[in-house]
């Protein structure tokens, strides 16, 4: 499972590349899903597709919020996890950047065959998803 935290939880003294590669270094079963592609090449390809390929050698603490967000997305998507949980990943973005980020996230998830569970208070994003469940519906079902 991949996870994009609301506060991205990047390790500030690691480079963007090191942050993206971290799950692969910690979880060998996930690394095996690369089917012979090196971890470095997988990270580079994913970063390029998220428009951060030129930032891989920069420390996470030196990146803008939007760049950090894309690093967090790449870290969550590397190794094609079957499920990606995104907890308010667009909360710090304006409308234009929010849309661009969601487009990039969907493109990468589709290409990896990853299901996205996206948690957000931003109802303007709801129409972009195949299914939307409101918290009030969950609470109502739980109280029955």
In this predicted model, which residue has the larger pLDDT, 123 or 54? 54
* Whole-angstrom distance, CA of residue 69 vs CA of residue 110: 19
pLDDT of residue 142: 66
pLDDT at position 83:
95
**Which band of pLDDT confidence, cut at 50, 70 and 90, is reported for residue 141?**
low
- Compute and round to an integer the Cα radius of gyration of the chain: 16
Domains defined along the chain, listed by start = 2-143 (3.40.50.300)
Q: How far apart are CA 132 and CA 25, in angstroms?
A: 34
Return the higher-pLDDT residue of 100 and 10.
Answer: 10
What is the predicted pLDDT for the residue at 144? 66
Q: pLDDT per residue over 101-117, tens digit each?
A: 899 889 989 988 999 99
């Amino acid at each position: 499972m991949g996870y994009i935290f609301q506060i991205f939880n990047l390790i500030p003294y690691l480079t963007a590349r090191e942050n993206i590669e971290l799950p692969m270094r910690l979880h060998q079963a996930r690394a095996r899903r690369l089917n012979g592609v090196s971890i470095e090449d997988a990270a580079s390809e994913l970063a390029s597709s998220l428009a951060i390929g030129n930032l891989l050698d920069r420390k996470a603490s030196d990146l803008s919020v939007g760049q950090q967000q894309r690093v967090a997305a790449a870290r969550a998507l590397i190794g094609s996890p079957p499920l990606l949980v995104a907890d308010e990943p667009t909360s710090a973005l304006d409308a234009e950047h929010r849309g661009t980020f969601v487009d990039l996230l969907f493109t990468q998830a589709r290409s990896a065959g990853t299901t996205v569970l996206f948690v957000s208070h931003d109802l303007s994003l709801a129409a972009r998803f195949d299914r939307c469940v409101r918290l009030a519906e969950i609470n109502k079902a739980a109280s029955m």
